[in-house]
Structure 1
């Protein structure tokens, strides 16, 4: 792009000559000056580029498994069973028993002991009997000693609980449970991810060829000329 052309007019002041001549005057008029120029404007263009992206897609998928179900069935039957119990009753018996017979033997033992008594002299009321007279003498002590002789046989009456078996027949119900496993195949739908691609258009703005135009520019200017006055004579 070309700039505008500016015209500058310089007015020069010339010093007056000797001889008292007046300074020259400038006569100016307004004029127009035309300039031819080329004006260019940049152009913008849109550029589209395909871009491939890696994505994940959700698809349907069947998931199956075996379900094990335990089924039980109850059956009952009646059977006769003999049930026995024991009862206890008192029973008296006579049996031989052995006792121990105890006898006593008479024994004696002679021991020497010391005995003391008053001497028997002195005036009564004045210390009579204060002196003791002691002597040794023998004494015999008799006692009984238990003796165990031969065992003695006797008849004893005894009582003891005697068991008695009592049996009865009862009808019993027997319950039987039978179980078995049943396998069933079940399937249901689940989500599954798989790899895929997706192509999109990527848009961007780029600078294209400029657009130029020829223009005529009109500039205001001034044109000036000197006006020489006549000399003054006095």
Structure 2
């Protein structure tokens, strides 16, 4: 890393003390801890309430910017990431993030940050996440014209209210369903006759004839 790109960090003795110093200079109450080669910075509210997990900060190796990442509860979905310039802006971003500022407002205040469609859905709530997951499955099925049975499986599963309420994903042409939208949640049901490593431990349901017989998808779902 070019030390000339981060003289203020070098002068402070590292990223952690530099962020602490920047917070003190701005009058923003933050707690900063080392996190590998980077740092974790948390805004401390007056009442001690924790709205979001700490913001993760890393130094860029090629330019005078800082790469930041904000994760959802339990280090689940990445809600926001991107670059900011200057230690002061890192502290300001950490404060806005910690106060629960909406993702769209974060992007407006810090143009170098970004949130995925899934992150924006998580901010809206469970129903928005489930709706996006199913929309992604329908879109993928529409693109796989050479494997019409997959689309049949998706449509049959979506038509079943009990499955439509679950978090859904696909891997190896198998549909997996979980009771949680957390990325590391273990699926409880899998529909398909392929080997699906992410579905290990789930109850897998589907006859071997489903790719050639569309009705097989409906039989598995029902």
Question: TM-score by structure 2 length?
Answer: 0.12
Larger Rg: 1
Larger fraction in helix = 2
Q: TM-score, normalised by structure 1?
A: 0.12
